[in-house]
Amino acid sequence: MIPFDEMPEDNAQLASISIGFPLVQPNTAESCPVPISDVVEHLRLESPDGDAIDAGRLSFLRTAQVADQRYWIWAFHRRGFS
């Protein structure tokens, strides 16, 4: 943990900090405990272009173990963005 007095003063400095989290094994989309249909439904509710969301607009990036929590990290490709 970075001591408070050594914290970055701006976003550029913050972005330069390297933070690593161990992978959850197996590090695969298929190992996600939440069905992709539930992830899509959540995004439909939260995204401004929710009506156009489908599983084909998601890309699995990686897993991460953070303390006692496990995360599956996805990229969501909004319409008009890559």
Is the model's pLDDT at 81 over the cut of 70?
no
pLDDT (tens digit per residue) in 8-40: 899 998 888 888 999 999 999 999 999 999 999
Q: Which residues pair with 63 in a beta bridge?
A: 72
Domain segments of the chain: what residues?
A: 20-76
pLDDT (tens digit per residue) in 40-61: 999 899 988 788 889 998 999 9
Q: What is the 3-state secondary structure (H, E, C) of the chain?
A: CCCHHHCCCCHHHHHCCCCCCCCCCCCCHHHCCCCHHHHHHHHHHHCCCHHHCCHHHEEEEEEEEECCEEEEEEEECCCCCC
What is the model's pLDDT at position 26? Answer: 98
What pTM does this model have?
A: 0.72
